[in-house]
Structure 1
Amino acid sequence: MGVPAFFRWLSRKYPSIIVHSVEEKGKECNGVRIPVDTTKPNPNEVEFDNLYLDMNGIIHPCTHPEDKPAPKNEDEMMVAIFEYIDRLFNIVRPRRVLYMAIDGVAPRAKMNQQRSRRFRASKEGVELAEEKHRIREEIIQRGGYLPPDEIKERFDSNCITPGTEFMDNLAQCLRYYVADRLSNDPGWKSVTVFLSDASVPGEGEHKIMDFIRRQRAQPNHDPNTHHCLCGADADLIMLGLATHEPNFTIIREEFKPNKPRPCALCGQLGHEIKDCQGTAREKQGQHDEFADTMPVSEQEFIFIRLSVLREYLARELTMASLPFPFDFERSIDDWVFMCFFVGNDFLPHLPSLEIREGAIDRLVNIYKDVVHKTGGYLTQNGYVNLERVEMIMQAVGVAEDNIFKKRKEDDVRFLSRANSSSAGPSDRTDSRGMKRKADDSDSEPEPEDNVRLWEEGWKQRYYKTKFDVDVTDEDFRQRVVKSYVEGLCWVLRYYYQGCASWKWYFPFHYAPFASDFKDIKGMFTDFEKGTKPFKPLEQLMSVFPAASGNFLPQTWRNLMTGPDSSIIDFYPDDFAIDLNGKKYAWQGVALLPFVDERRLRAALADVYPDLTPEEVKRNSLGSDVLFLGKSHPLFDFIQELYRTESHEGTEIPPELCHGIQGTLNLDDDPILPDKESVWPDNHFHVIIKCLFLFIFRIPSKVLKPGDWEKGNREPWRPQLGFNPNRQQAHLDQSSFRALSYQHICYILHNQALIDLVGHSSPVPHANSS
């Protein structure tokens, strides 16, 4: 989600949701590293059933890391990705499902953000190269020294987009990787592996959510399934809550905001490129600029326990004396919805709502105040009650003027304190917020703010500056509000049901004010039915700058640069960035033209015939692929299917596949004869289309009375592992009875532990008491 500060705010307000992962390391024996035995119980003292990987969060740091030397070539990148997945598998140890989802073609609402990011990345890359050249010349002219600038091809991270050769190669490499692990790693032998590569439409995390929703909809779904989702985006927390699964955990790298980064010119720590003075001459002859300057340390992982967050929210959202029955799950949905107002990937945040200023707390307080007037909840099953939402927005609107004034007062107070040479004891009361801002402060002047929201006339200046219209133009303001209302309905539907429209997007760079939300009840009815996603190469044409045109076919690329191109205006060489009250360019708004779908398709119609067969293949849409090891219960069933003449559309027997249901469409060539050395013959990969996927146990409560106030105290450090009292576990009869059903199944299949506890009775059925 587009809320950089959301995770920081959440972890400080609800600190007990986070624990450090316990990670076993492989041992060295005669110079050979022995891999970790992932068949053993999880050292974090919790057994996970399903592990979902939002792969783009893995691909980016493995291909162009910020804290260590970059891989030298594509092969090293693939190896880094494999090692990252291995490490996650070691920590989580899923027992049923591993689902790897790579971003496919995205909805138009998301493509606008992708377009902004990719144009920015290209612009910043050019500017960085120019700055490095200029500063290098200055250092050399004043007698300083820098190692010779190695001429090497810069890795263009824009290639991590559906439709490129890189993504096609990645999909093939992951297939071989999964095949190898199913054949050689005992921890994988009974796991059902799904790969949803970039040919499958949809964002990775939303493909995962669609998989989970389909599981929940089936009669065979086990409500005690423990899910673990890997990813760093804040919206994964919202998506996890939206599933209403009681056992949902997110794993991500530990966030370290003050982690030092090396100078982009000399590679040394402790300064930025603008302050670079060069390196010592004795380093002459060293060609790896990061070799001795950049400490390489393995990043630690943390767990975010959504079951504990639900405990916090249950206390915060529970309301008494309501004119309607209180439903905690409905209040969770409303909380997720209200978080959309402070920012997401599809809509700009409202000007008066900033996460750092307590916007979510403000919304929750308003929500609890007006709920008696609304007569019910704001949302239901992914649909929005706009009449009730208007009450919330109007309450925010009443406070907007004071919010803007207080924001200015806080900024003035901060600058006054920052400029003061001595800080007394009283100044330390706000040390946490002061430290964050002090880290950002430097000698650069503050950007000019022509809107001045803290002064009278702010609404007139805002609309004139941002939209070039007069505030009295009620029709235009209503159009902006209508589009934003549509966006709120689209985003909620996207989170709870899937993509309601592939073509809808918010057609403005800025949001309206909360006070503009008037008479919105009839502003939205429904989305256009039957819309389809772009094809991969069409998305590349929509999100790439001309500088990344080398990933496209030649005649398509010419449409980005040719003077006679009918869509040349979609690819400006330069564009303005409106800081919009922020200090740094990356925080600003990229004022790029929106792509007109009809004009784009008309232009592409002339170049479609130029595609080669390989390009046609990369431009097609695919399906999820299922991998099974030979010891998997479903293996023999599928092997028999291959012996029958008609096997299309066969339903998966849920009893053979951890309760998963769906339709199998078998690959015509499950074994690749020309790849026998790397592709074992003891598994099949199956194309899956239209996947559909005991007694319910409420998770044990974790929070104690003192935990409610813990978020207000500093310093704070997450505990290690899920068990706060980490002692050596002794497996006796009492602890055996306390284990989960999945853990009992594991123990009963491990003869050594069976002998240890002396227990050999049959496994109790999941539905038994």
Structure 2
Amino acid sequence: MDKVFYIYKFIRSSQKIVTNLSKNYAFFFIRDRYNIVSPIEKKNFDKIRVDNFYIEMNEIIHENLVTNVEAEIFSAICDYVNELVLMVKPKKLIFIAVDGVAPRAKMNEQRKRRFIKTSSGEFDSNSVTPGTSFMENLSTHFKEFIHNKIKNDKVWKSVKIIYSGHDVPGEGEHKILKHIRNSESKSESDCIYGRDSDLILLGLMHYKPNLKILSSNEFSLSGNNLNSRIFEIKFLGTLRRKLNEEFSKLWNPKPFFEFNIESIIKDFILLVLFMGNDFIPTLSNINKGLDEIISIYKKILKECGGYIYDAGNLNKKRLEIIFKKLGVLEREPFKNSKQKFIEVESDNEEFLRWKKKYYRNNMMIKEEQDQKHLIKPYIESYIEGLQWILSYYEGSLKSYRWFYPGYYSPLISDLEDLETIEIKNFKDEDYYKPLEQLMFVLPIKSKKLLPVAYQNLMSDPRIEEFYPTNVNVIDNLPFINEKILLSVLESAKNNLTNEEKQRNEFGNVLLFEYDELSKKVGMQILVP
């Protein structure tokens, strides 16, 4: 029994919004089912060799927002990073990645989180967004910190340091995995520090034999005191081996098509995405956890005749097979207790009423409207979203302005006739500029984080509907119309100061390295 799922389901039903809950469920499920975590204390880390140490900064920054004084926050962040480096003692590389501008698909989730976070009288944690003066000042401080550590500390002096700051677009974990994916040596030991569950999925997809994920146990957090923290190491090699053992058994004694662990892993990632991610909503009304979903997947593999995610593309026919099986589970709460079962083809009245209510409440589609016709764009977009995420994870996508146009998924039982859906070729689209992202994600209570020229735009009649002041609308925040917003920003851009214009430009990935001959710290720009 998937105990973690039932805890997750209970909490989710008790709260209107639970940030990151679905992703956390997936993380705990993988941790518990495959037993990939080993606790380790700081004093015992010397036993583990790490050649390349990658630090995802988002968690560290947020954990150290301990005061309203910027200098104290910056000092706390740098102290924590230094303690980590001294604990791990990497031999070749330190790669520090800060979240830059995110794809539009993630901005909808960021927007919800930032509307929730805003609280008057405290430090505005929404400052931790690319484009703010806080992030600009932190980056300046951090580069000085790196320079000084290389100059004065032998651990820092002996390795290369790569810094990809907030002004370099892309999520921190994707910057890290891109570097790992492009690295020449497959035998070096890589360790990523971060607690984002995406790291497990990305690490699986871009596998290296000696890749580990290090994180602090979230139940042992105690400020900057690393000595009192319990750390966890997740061994992705162990997870890969256990997935291989679990699924390769299905090919014995009779193979039904060629076994490929890479394809199994991508299908496994797809199944995890059903339960939650940052880009499209969790599949609604899944009444079982990942245990049951994986069990169904195993049963349908032979019927599918191949992998669901095959050669870089979703096989919609095979995807529909698993949705049909999950759709049966969706109906279970509506079964008549006197009946042994209900035929899939004959929806009972209670189930139909519930479906109509679901779409009325969550997609504003009234019962008297043609619901089947009106939900079709959501179905198409949801399937498109699954393809978008997997392509994004693979690193083969540069379409950064695509997004799912809703906060809820279609119901599983409506995910049918998928072969009629044409998944478009995602066109290359650049990231938004930093100040544009701020306008996409910030609530009006955080408008002071914007340039002065943009602050009053949130009350401009052309776009004021995008910035409601009633927190109760979190579940149905209006989606921002890109063309209208960018047009309004264009009309105000000449009022930006030079410093604000600079904050709106993208920066570069930087390499810091100590030169023994000159006894100086060198810095050069790398190609992102």
Matched, 1:570 2:500: no
Matched residues in 1 for 2:228 and 2:425: separation?
46
Letter in 2 for 1:557: Q
Q: Give the whole-Å Cα distance in 2 for the aligned partners of 1:461 and 1:686.
A: 58
Q: Does 2:144 align with 1:176?
A: yes
| Displacement of 1:299 | 2.8
Between the aligned partners of 1:73 and 1:298, the Cα distance in structure 2 is 25
Structure 1 residue 392 corresponds to structure 2 residue 322: yes
Report SS of the residue matched to 1:395: helix
Identity %: 35
2:214 aligns to what?
Answer: 251
Q: Match for residue 33 of structure 2?
A: 13
Q: Deviations over 1:635-677 (max 9, x none)?
A: x7xx9xxxxxxxxxxxxxxxxxxxxxxxxxxxxxxxxxxxxxx
Equivalent in the alignment of 1:514: 412
Q: 1:323 is aligned with what amino acid? A: F
Q: Please give the per-residue CA displacement for 1:309-360, whole angstroms capped at 9, x wherever unaligned.
A: 2222222222212321111122111101110000100111112326xx4x21
Report deviation, 1:399: 2.1
In structure 2, the residue matched to 1:211 is: 179
Counterpart in the other structure of 1:200: 168
Instruction: Quote the Cα distance in structure 2 between the aligned partners of 1:522 and 1:91.
Output: 54
1:485: Cα distance to partner? 0.5
Aligned runs of 1:340-419 on 2, under 5 Å? 340-353=273-286, 357=288, 359-380=289-310, 382-402=312-332
Contact 1:22 1:44 in 2 (8 A): no
From the superposition, tell whether residues 317 and 337 of structure 1 become closer, same or farther in structure 2 (CA, over 3 Å). same
* 1:304-703 alignment, distance < 5 Å: 304-318=234-248, 319-320=250-251, 321-353=254-286, 357=288, 359-380=289-310, 382-402=312-332, 457-469=353-365, 470=367, 472-562=370-460, 565-577=461-473, 590-631=475-516, 682-690=520-528
SS state at 2:47 partner: coil
Give the match for residue 88 of structure 1. Answer: 84
Q: Are 1:58 and 1:84, in contact at CA under 8 Å, matched by a contact in 2?
A: yes
1:160 aligns with 2:128: yes
Distance 1:316 1:524 in 2: 34
Q: Distance in 1 between matches of 2:290 and 2:333?
A: 14
Once the two structures are TM-superposed, the CA of residue 472 in structure 1 deviates from its matched residue by: 4.6
Amino acid corresponding to residue 235 of structure 2 in structure 1: R
Paired residue secondary structure (2:214): strand
Q: 1:44: Cα distance to partner?
A: 4.6
* 2: CA distance, partners of 1:496 / 1:365: 25
- The answer on whether the counterparts of 1:210 and 1:498 sit within 8 Å (CA) in structure 2 is no
Q: Cα–Cα, structure 1 residues 102 and 296, in superposed 2: closer, same or farther, change >3 Å?
A: closer
Shift of 1:514: 1.6
Which stretch of structure 1 is more off in the superposition, 228-237 or 375-384? Answer: 375-384
Residue deviations 1:282-326, cap 9 Å, x none? xxxxxxxx9xxxx99843211111111222222222221232111
- SS of 2:219's partner is coil
- Cα distance change of structure 1 residues 203 and 559 upon mapping to structure 2, 3 Å threshold: same
Residues in 2 aligned to 1:491 and 1:329: alpha-carbon distance in whole angstroms: 17
Alpha-carbon spacing, 1:296–1:230, altered in 2? closer, same or farther (3 Å): closer
Instruction: In structure 2, give the amino acid aligned to 1:186.
Output: K
Correspondence for 2:205: 242
How far 1:183 moved relative to its partner?
1.5
What is the distance in 2 between the residues matched to 1:524 and 1:465? 28
Aligned to 1:53: 55
Between the two proteins, the alignment pairs up a number of residues equal to 490
What amino acid is the match of 1:160?
V
Distance (whole Å) between structure 2 residues aligned to residue 454 and residue 19 of structure 1: 47
Determine helix, strand or coil for the equivalent of 1:683: strand
1:485 touches 1:524 (CA, 8 Å); kept in 2? no
TM-superposed deviation, 1:225? 2.0
**CA-CA distance at 1:196 after TM superposition:** 0.6
CA contact (8 A) 2:42 2:227 kept: no
- Judged with a 3 Å threshold, the aligned counterparts in structure 2 of structure 1 residues 299 and 621 are, in CA distance, closer, same or farther, namely same
Corresponding residue of 1:190? 158
**1:529 Cα shift?**
2.0
Letter of the 1:6 partner, please give it: A
- Give the distance between the partners of 2:290 and 2:320, measured in 1 at CA: 17
TM-score by length of 2: 0.87
Q: Secondary structure at the match of 2:417?
A: coil
3-state DSSP class of the match of 1:518? coil
| 8 Å contact from structure 2 (residues 116, 471) kept in 1 | no
Separation in 1, partners of 2:491, 2:262: 52
User: Given the alignment, which residue of 214, 223, 231 partners 2:186?
Assistant: 223
**What letter matches 1:103 in structure 2?**
D
Secondary structure of the residue that 2:232 maps to in structure 1?
strand
Instruction: Please state whether the residue corresponding to 2:284 is helix, strand or coil.
Output: coil
C-alpha displacement at 1:72, in angstroms?
5.2
Q: CA deviation at 1:9?
A: 2.5
Q: 1:593 corresponds to which letter in structure 2?
A: P
Give deviations 1:111-133, integer Å, cap 9, x for gaps.
111111111112xx25xxxxxxx
Partners of 1:86 and 1:200 lie apart in 2 by 22
Cα distance in 2 between the residues matched to 1:297 and 1:403 = 49
Aligned 8 A contact 2:514 2:522 in 1:
yes
Q: Per-residue deviation at 1:226?
A: 1.6
Give the superposition deviation at 1:575. Answer: 4.2
Give the AA of the match of 2:268.
W
Higher helix share: 2
1:391 to 1:174, Cα distance in 2 relative to 1, 3 A? same
Q: How high is the TM-score relative to the length of structure 1?
A: 0.61
Aligned counterparts of 2:87 and 2:226: Cα–Cα separation in 1: 21
Structure 1 residue runs without a partner (length 5+): 25-41, 64-69, 127-152, 216-220, 262-289, 407-452, 578-588, 640-680, 691-769
Cα pair 1:22 1:91 within 8 Å, conserved: no
Q: 1:670: which partner in 2?
A: none
Structure 1: distance between partners of 2:465 and 2:495: 23
Report the alpha carbon displacement of residue 491 of structure 1 after superposing the two structures with TM.
0.6
Alpha-carbon distance in structure 1 between the residues aligned to 2:316 and 2:92: 41
In structure 1, distance between residues paired with 2:187 and 2:178: 18
- Taking the aligned partners of 1:246 and 1:380, their CA distance within structure 2 comes to 23
Name the amino acid aligned to 2:181: R
Unaligned runs of 5+ in 2: 1-19, 337-348
CA distance in 2, matches of 1:12, 1:193: 35
Structure index of larger Rg: 1
Structure-1 separation of matches of 2:274 and 2:334: 17
Alignment partner of 1:533: what SS?
coil
Change (3 A) 1:190 1:337: same
CA contact (8 A) 1:244 1:329 kept: no
Paired with 2:240 and 2:273, the residues of 1 have a C-alpha distance of 18
CA–CA separation in structure 2 for the residues paired with 1:183 and 1:383: 49
Q: Does structure 2 retain, via aligned residues, the 8 Å contact 1:162–1:540?
A: yes
TM-aligned CA deviation for residue 12 of structure 1? 2.4
Residues 1:75 and 2:83 are matched in the alignment = no
